[in-house]
Amino acid sequence: MKLTIVGTGYVGLVTGTGFANLGNDVICLDVDKAKIDLLASGEIPIYEPGLEEMYKRNLKAGRIRLTTDSQKGVHESDIIFICVGTPTNAHKEADLSAVKDVAKAIGQYMNDYKIVVNKSTVPVGTADMVKKIIKDNQQQEIEFDVVSNPEFLREGAAVKDFENPDRIVIGVDRKRAEDIMSSLYRSRERTDKPIMITDIRSAEIIKYASNAMLATRISFMNQLSYLCEKTGADIKQVAKGMGFDNRIGSRFLQAGVGYGGSCFPKDVRALITTLKQNDCDFDLFEAVDRINEKQKSVVVEKLKTAIDVKNSTIAMWGISFKPKTDDIREAPSINIIKELQEMGAKIHACDPVAINNAKNILDDVEFFENPYETIRNCDALIVATEWNEFRNLDMRAVKILLKNPIVIDGRNIYDPKEMKDLGFTYMGIGR
Ligand code: NAD
């Protein structure tokens, strides 16, 4: 099939590369010329395991073309995926300006029947808005369909998730679009994972409901972590005991420094706004968001009990919002670093892949490639991201290199007893 993917970020690039790898003819379209030039040269602008090799192979095979030309993108494809960003705006709602721009261009340049797929995370009702914008901008009346096909990929495992998703949700209101979309995803049938055809509005809500549920589980555990600390229990044991229950399951039950990234925080806030706009109660999700905001400061509070932060040098392991990605959008590490700097601390930071992104938004941080070098002569170490690279390091060496053997483990990756036996002042979350 001939596809255009509008927006070549984490979602667009993975989707475009994934569909090209299945033999489709893919145009990747973006307004960011530097990004398109970089992609055309065979480089990719993000870190995502497995993506670079797959991208290069499909580019070389001629199945991926790059452009900044909307007319070309619309003319030369049958299905147009909207994969642009939908960040939070000043009113705490999803900023749909990029989605609107794309819809307008699609209307202007439509030359034939097209399917327009909303893959960006957008509030319920957006498909109708996109439909109206396209119609209002058409030069002549041409038939088209708008479909909701929300994306559930996880950064750090996005290629795997494209190839073997838990489910594919397709919200449609016409048989013609249903048949074409089902045929596009037919190759996924071999994975035996459900392709769920539903109405458009349910598809739009499924995405927000899924992210809000995962965020709720994290805030749920973070709130319980305080009770564990007060009573001498261990939140990891509590999570394990809960997770054995089939009705609950073990995933997304980790207490820590809170969730971050480009999805959960903004999607929970956008859902709250949508609920308000529809005169629905929203208190559960406000609590989820509030607990998460508080949680980002928890390691600083713990640190304050151990040292005078002013004029100290604090080492941080991990900057990305989670392992295996270079994405630092709304990463708790950023809040922690800024809070410590405001209190007069100097920061040393280390991350396997996120340093370049961090340099763009953080001032006065000394970055290191090597975790041991990061901590030399520091007053304490904070673990902000649970990269595997930090799990099996030589903790005896860590103790020698640190000025004070203080470790605040914001992701509970170390064993409290082992750390205490080694002579560390060790503080995890909820343990
Ligand atoms: P991103 O910021 O990485 O990429 C967005 C891209 O869109 C950028 O390259 C930008 O230049 C481009 N763009 C903006 N306006 C454009 C326009 N008018 N025309 C063409 N290109 C334009 O965003 P992302 O992380 O890929 O997220 C995209 C959408 O997918 C969001 O709605 C997000 O909520 C959703 N989503 C993201 C993830 C994730 O893990 N990142 C997962 C599921 C869903």
Angle (CA) 59 10 362, round 5°: 120
Residue 97 pLDDT: 98
Instruction: List, for residues 302-313, the tens digit of each pLDDT value.
Output: 999 999 999 999
pLDDT > 70: what percent of the chain? 100
In the chain, count of helices (H) and strands (E)?
Answer: 18, 14
Residue 87 Cα, ligand 1 centroid: separation in angstroms? 9
Looking at the CA of residue 267, tell me the nearest atom of ligand 1. Answer: 34
C-alpha 94 – ligand 1 centre gap (Å): 12
121 lines ligand 1 (CB under 6 A): yes
Query: What confidence score (pLDDT) does residue 192 get?
Result: 84
Residue nearest to atom 34 of ligand 1 (CA): 121
User: What's the CA gap between 100 and 104, in Å, rounded?
Assistant: 6
pLDDT at 190 over 90: no
User: Is the Cβ atom of 31 under 6 angstroms away from ligand 1?
Assistant: yes
Report the pLDDT value the prediction gives residue 127, as an integer from 0 to 100: 98
| Mean pLDDT value across residues 171-181 | 97
DSSP letter (8 states) at residue 389: G
- φ/ψ of residue 348, rounded to 5: -110, 135
Inform me whether the pLDDT recorded for 187 exceeds 90. no
What pTM was computed for the model?
Answer: 0.96
* Pocket of ligand 1 contains residue 263 by CB under 6 Å: yes
How far, in Å, from the CA of 51 to the mean position of ligand 1? 16
Residues marked active site are found at: 263
For ligand 1, whether the C-beta of 15 sits within 6 Å is no
Instruction: Decide whether any atom of ligand 1 lies within 6 Å of the 151 Cβ.
Output: yes
Partner residues linked to 346 by β-bridges:
313
Q: How far is the CA of 154 from the centre of ligand 1 (A)?
A: 14
Please say if the pLDDT value at position 189 is more than 90. no
Tokens of residue 209, six digits: 């409901």
Q: Is 10 in the pocket of ligand 1 (CB under 6 A)?
A: yes
Structure tokens at 167: 């489910």
What's the confidence (pLDDT) of residue 191?
A: 80
List all residues 6 or more positions away from 171 whose beta carbon is below 8 Å from its beta carbon. 127, 147, 148, 149, 198, 199, 200, 201, 202, 203, 204
pLDDT tens track for 30-81? 999 999 999 999 999 999 999 999 999 999 999 999 999 999 999 999 999 9
In ligand 1, which atom is closest to the CA atom of 45? 9
What's the confidence (pLDDT) of residue 425?
98
